[in-house]
A and B are shown apart, each in its own frame.
Chain A
Amino acid sequence: MFMPKKPKVLAISSAGGHWVQLQRLRAAWDGCDAIYITTKDGYREDLVADAERRGQTLPKFYRVVDANRWQKFRLLRQLFSILVILLRERPDVIVSTGAAAGFFALKIGKLMGARTIWVDSIANAGALSLSGQKAGGCADLWLTQWEHLAGSDEGKKGPEFKGSVV
């Protein structure tokens, strides 16, 4: 019987609300080789406990430095770490809920030939996030969690709506 190799999925987001949302998507990559990148070390144990509870292979875990859009030096450090991890791991698919870290991973990953998914945070109910707007250019699957934000606007390509994390 033909058995395709397990897809290697890299799931990345900053800590906090973005991470909570990324975790609610994890059933989508059950059975895949999962790699996580986030900005807080404490999540490692949650991932191990969850994988054991649900009979999944243990995911890999990397922490990178936290940075927001005003912290240029930290952003650069974050970008560099993500580059190194991507070169080492060579994922087939990259998925992110935000923010800067996820955008970096999609951008680099796209250049390396990975297929990319952006799920814009449900916290952006009024307009797409800044990183989410930018991610549109490098996401093969570009999603918003609000129906009223989906679709093209004035001839510009827009995200799709396929449901939300809650």
Chain B
Amino acid sequence: MIFVTVGHELRFDRLIRGLDEWVKETSYKDIFAQVAELGDEGYKPRNFEWQSFLDPETFKARFDKADLIVAHAGMGTIITALTMKKPLLIMPRKGALKETRNDHQIATAEQFARRNGIYVANDETELGSVLDQLITNPPPIIKEAASEFAEPQLIQTIRGFIYDGKAPKNV
């Protein structure tokens, strides 16, 4: 099953429309989307179930059940996918289309494309083919979940600074 999320701030019509077309063409059945507030103007998918927002428990349950997450290139989603060992396909929002405040998601997608289990569709024209590939050749199981905390070096740097170099050893 595929779980789609666009985060909680803004809708993402290009992604949702792209998915809707792909589902129509492929008749892929098992897909559910969290699409944020659509208002009157937002694109409403016709070929799969969707909801604007999910409460945290339902969101987590949907995420957990999915074989593949499809999302915008938001850090909340990326971190959740890495900690829950879920293969993730991201499509970046563009600043020029006012999908977010600037093009930072493009850089995020480019950098995280190097990580194990993260796949990128640069825009809606690539979305269908990347999905086809992921469905035909399901991504390998991710063995190691990202830790609950930041990298040890970062934690230690901040801890050392907080205690001015005199951090107690055993926490």
Instruction: Determine whether the beta carbon of B82 is less than 8 Å from that of A166.
Output: yes
For the side of the interface on A, what is the size category? Answer: 35 or more
Docked pose: A165 CA to B80 CA in angstroms: 12
Interface membership of B135, Cβ < 8 A: no
Given the known interface contacts A126-B103, A166-B82, the answer about A16 and B149 at a Cβ–Cβ threshold of 8 Å is no
Residue tally, chain B, CB below 8 Å to A: 41
Set of chain A residues within 8 Å of B9, measured between Cβ atoms = 16
Q: Is the CB of A28 within 8 A of B146?
A: no
- Known contacts A124-B107, A163-B151; A7 and B8 CB within 8 A of each other: no
Contact B8 A162 (CB under 8 A): no
Which A positions have Cβ atoms within 8 angstroms of B? 4, 7, 9, 16-17, 20-21, 24-32, 68, 92-93, 95, 115, 117, 119, 121-127, 129, 140-141, 143, 145-146, 162-166
Query: Contacts of B151 on A, CB cut-off 8 Å?
Result: 163-166
Task: Write out the residue numbers on chain A whose beta carbons fall within 8 Å of the beta carbon of B162.
Answer: 7, 9, 28-29, 32, 92-93, 95, 117
Among all A-B residue pairs, the 10 with the closest Cβ atoms? A126-B107, A163-B151, A163-B154, A28-B158, A17-B75, A163-B153, A125-B107, A165-B150, A162-B157, A125-B111
